[in-house]
Chain A
Amino acid sequence: MSADFSPPRPGEKLPPQTVGPFSAADLASYADASGDSNPLHLDLEFAQGFGFPARPVHGMRLLAAFEPMLRDWRPDLALIGLRGQFLTPVLEQQTANLTARVAKIEQAEGRFVALLRLMAHTQDGAPALMGEGRIAQRDD
């Protein structure tokens, strides 16, 4: 660990972020980039056939959004683990609110590793995603 490196503190919160609203074109663009072309996210009639009032946003799109959020907060840290469980769907034209806080600091093989608790909520406040990130000082 370099002398001027300041590890995050337990309880520290990352600045919250709002992502979206996601248009149908946004969902199609993410499907193209990720390869997840599940018609549930792309075909309104298909989604409605499964009881959704609109196309649901890919859960992975929300989980992925935590990494640039971390980068904005602490560019000197990198994710070494990312986990998420997908709960209430965020629908097309809706936003999601992302929050994260440092839950724990560990030492592993001589370097610090911090555990982040991650949460995403729908714009109506329902839990959309619960997850965790493991972060360490960047090597580069």
Chain B
Amino acid sequence: MESVTPPVQRAGPLRVATAPDAVRLFRSQTGWRELDGPPPASFPVVWMRLPEIGEPIRAAAQEVGLPVHEAQHFDYARPLETGRDYDLMLELRRENDPARLIATAEVFDLDGVFVARIVSTLRLIDPKNIPAPLRGGKS
């Protein structure tokens, strides 16, 4: 089937935040005993719910199949701080054979200083062609 999703999509700057309530909730669900503290390194996954990120993922899912998280990178030049706004520049790249969606986000503070680079690799699984490792029988 010919893809209707462009191979590369870019968006940004997108305003994202480390709202204190969201940081506390995330810490509570990721094994932290102290709920007050800085955003965990993996906190930026919450920004994937932004429509500019989520909609292309949903579109690719409808076109190809289920998105399954294959790999994730967070690389920080400086730590995130709670209660701050940041700007996020996004690139979404489609790969074929196997079908993947790779989201690369660069995060800057509001002075334009680089903070972090985040790469999410999603494998797109056609339900008619489920690879053996996904079947879960071993675990």
A35 pairs with B25, CB closer than 8 A: no
A83 pairs with B41, CB closer than 8 A: no
Known: A61-B30, A89-B134. A35 touches B45 (CB 8 A): yes
**In the complex, which residues of chain B have a beta carbon less than 8 angstroms from the beta carbon of A19?**
31
Q: Which B residue sits closest to A59, measured CB to CB?
A: B69
- Chain A CB count within 10 A is highest, among B45, B49, B70, B139, for B139
Known: A36-B48, A53-B137. A82 touches B29 (CB 8 A): no
Q: Which stretch from A7-15, A44-52, A99-107 is at the chain B interface? A: A44-52
B71 pairs with A84, CB closer than 8 A: yes
Known: A67-B41, A68-B33. A90 touches B75 (CB 8 A): no
Give A52-68 interface residues, CB cut-off 8 Å to B: 52-54, 56, 58-61, 63-65, 67-68
How many residues of chain B get a CB closer than 8 Å to chain A's CBs?
39
A60 pairs with B45, CB closer than 8 A: yes
A94 pairs with B139, CB closer than 8 A: yes
Tell which of B67, B74, B133 touches A87, judged by Cβ atoms closer than 8 Å: B133
Tell which of A40, A53, A78, A84 touches B68, judged by Cβ atoms closer than 8 Å: A40
Chain B residues with CB under 8 Å of chain A are: 22, 25-26, 28-33, 40-42, 45-49, 66-76, 79, 125, 127, 130, 133-139
